[in-house]
Amino acid sequence: MKLLYTLITISALTAAVPLKAQKPELSTDTKTACTDKSVVTVKVDKVHTPFKYITVKFGDGKYSYITDMDKELKHIYLEEGVKKITYQTFYEDKDPDEEETLETVTVGITPELSLYDDAKSAKLVANSSNATAFTWYVIDRKGSETELQTKDSELNYLESGEYKVVVTSKDGCTNEDTKTVSYQKNQLADFSSIIVVNNIITPNNDGINDVLYIEDLDGYDEPCEVKVFNKHGKAVYENPNYSNTDGFKGLDEKGNDLFAGTYYYVIKSKGRRGVSGFVDIIRQ
């Protein structure tokens, strides 16, 4: 019995010895970010031992402090590259912990974006020198977005409304802007060089307005390149060597009839001033 009592006493004394102090546990919410845009958050997940403060360095010359367990730090990177986030914990009554790496964040460049409306030619232009992809949307009155088919930096519109463009960089970073436009059919471009005779096509093979006709085309030194777009900005007809004899007759490139309605055209020729405008297809 005396031996048993001794063992119980030793066991109780062993349990009373405090566990070794552990440092706070931190986390960050991402491994990738984009300049001037993405917010990187660092927070304390667990606190095993009271601390005085924690220094967090973000790898770009910026740092901040966490002073209590509920504190979160938010940081935005201004330059691209691979950034190492480190932290060090300081205490009231003992030496600070060694500096440790929390996360390595890869920062990409957010593409710049300037969106403007060229009302004269009913065209939205997205200017960006470092974007590799352009995605356009039309926004209805309820706020719903419909993606358009054009992937160019310019959108030819034939309807009033709100449009949005999203540009994407090679790093996968995005930027976006929206603009409300007002379409008026009399917003025609300057026809001083290339003259289009008709703005109506009635493709019924009666010899009158069967084709989109360019004046004095036979006298051009270089062939005309003609592109026709629908109201969503999708090219429905392209011809790099246009002819009035076999030109745009309300058919797409596969010979299928296009729906009656208003279409937008762009015509270019080397040595002449390009022109753009609208043409109505009327079917009887």
pLDDT tens digits for 258-268? Answer: 999 999 999 99
pLDDT score recorded for residue 26: 93
Q: Residues 247-259: pLDDT tens digits? A: 999 999 889 999 9
Arithmetic mean of pLDDT, 94-106? 95
Specify the residue for token string 């910026």.
62
Matching CATH number, 19-108, of 2.60.40.10, 3.40.50.300, 2.170.190.11, 1.10.10.10: 2.60.40.10
Are 147 and 136 in contact by the 8 Å Cβ rule? The answer is yes
pLDDT score recorded for residue 170: 93
3-state secondary structure the chain: CHHHHHHHHHHHHHHCCCCCCCCCEEEECCCEEECCCCEEEEEEEECCCCCCEEEEECCCCCEEEECCCCCEEEEECCCCEEEEEEEEEECCCCCCCCCEEEEEEEEECCCCCEEEEEHHHCEEEEECCCCCEEEEEEECCCCCEEECCCCCCEEECCCCEEEEEEEECCCCCEEEEEEEECCCCCCCCCCCCCCECCCEECCCCCCCCCCCCECCHHHCCCCCEEEEECCCCCEEEEECCCCCCCCCCCECCCCCECCCEEEEEEEECCCCCCEEEEEEECCC
pTM above 0.85, yes or no: no
Given a cut of 90, is residue 113 above it in pLDDT? Answer: yes
How much is the mean pLDDT over the chain? 86
Matching CATH number, 200-281, of 2.60.40, 2.40.10, 2.40.128, 1.10.8: 2.60.40
pLDDT score recorded for residue 282: 93
Among 162, 160, 195, 155, smallest CA distance to 277 is for 195
Parse the chain into domains and list their residue ranges.
19-108, 114-181, 200-281
Among 76, 67, 69, smallest CA distance to 46 is for 69
pLDDT band at 17 (very low <50, low <70, confident <90, very high): very low
Arithmetic mean of pLDDT, 105-118? 94
Beta bridge partner(s), residue 105: 83
Q: Residues 145-167: pLDDT tens digits? A: 999 988 999 998 888 999 999 99
Domain 114-181 has CATH 2.60.40: yes
